[in-house]
Structure 1
Amino acid sequence: MTRRIDSTDTAKALIAVLKEKHGELMFYQAGGCCEGTQPQCFEKGGYYLRMRDVCLGDIEGCEFWVDRDLYEYWKFSHFTLDVLDGFGVGGFSLETPLQKTFKIHYRLFSPEELKDLAPVKTAE
């Protein structure tokens, strides 16, 4: 199966640091104006999912959820979680005190990848 989301080694290293400090984690990426479009990292259960939010998969055992409208717009794209130095748009994500920001890189799936995409799950 073709994964819908992967991560860089830099993102994996930061997730390990955050897990050690906070325990189990989750990611959420919205498409709205207030929270921006950068992924936010929370303690697992620290963000309440809305009906029909979509889980693209997991990174290092952390589910990566997106807003349903964002999913509809980007469903033919592969996400790669990365990290930048500095503060992002939001201030609630767990990496903010470390002066880091999670970021997503997108690319379109190839025709071959589209034939074997991993299924998504939705919040009930």
Structure 2
Amino acid sequence: MAEGSENRVTATPAAQKLLDEIIADHGPVLFHQSGGCCDGSSPMCYPRGDFLIGDRDVLLGTIGDTPFYIGAAQYEVWKHTELTIDAIDGRGGMFSLDNGRERRFLVRSDICAVD
């Protein structure tokens, strides 16, 4: 996991419910948060075997048994934050498993204490 091996990601009950529905349909999944231009604030949810984790991706934590990775460049910007994954009305990212469910994942962040 990221510096200090602490879990830096949590989920709201709404996000956990949506995640449970997706896992029931697709099996184990993972999240990846990138700094891309299109869905940079939307975590993408993929079947665990369908997304290759890169050497520079950082494991930020887990939601239950679901790992949450973040791209290295995005991690540098957000390394002093704790992320909360929420679910809101709307369509998910084009390749994310929440797409087409009329609910989508959204990242909310809180700044952590900096030593």
TM-score (norm 1): 0.82
Q: Which runs of 4+ in 1 moved over 2 A?
A: 34-37
* Distance in structure 2 (CA, Å) of the matches to 1:40 and 1:100: 13
- Runs of 5+ in structure 2 lacking a partner? none
Counterpart in 2 of 1:43?
47
Give aligned pairs, total.
Answer: 111
Cα separation, 2, equivalents of 1:55 and 1:5: 10
1:28 to 29, 32, 35: 32
Unaligned runs of 5+ in 1: 115-124
Structure 1 residue 91 and structure 2 residue 94: aligned? yes
Name 2:64's counterpart in structure 1: 60
The residue that corresponds to 1:107 in the other structure is 110
2:16 is matched with: 12
Match of 1:117 in 2: none
| Matched AA of 2:104 | T
Offset, 1:35: 4.2
Percentage of identical aligned residues? 33
Q: Does the 8 Å contact 1:54/1:66 carry over to 2?
A: yes
Q: Distance in 1 between matches of 2:6 and 2:43?
A: 21
Deviates more, 1:41-50 or 1:59-68: 41-50
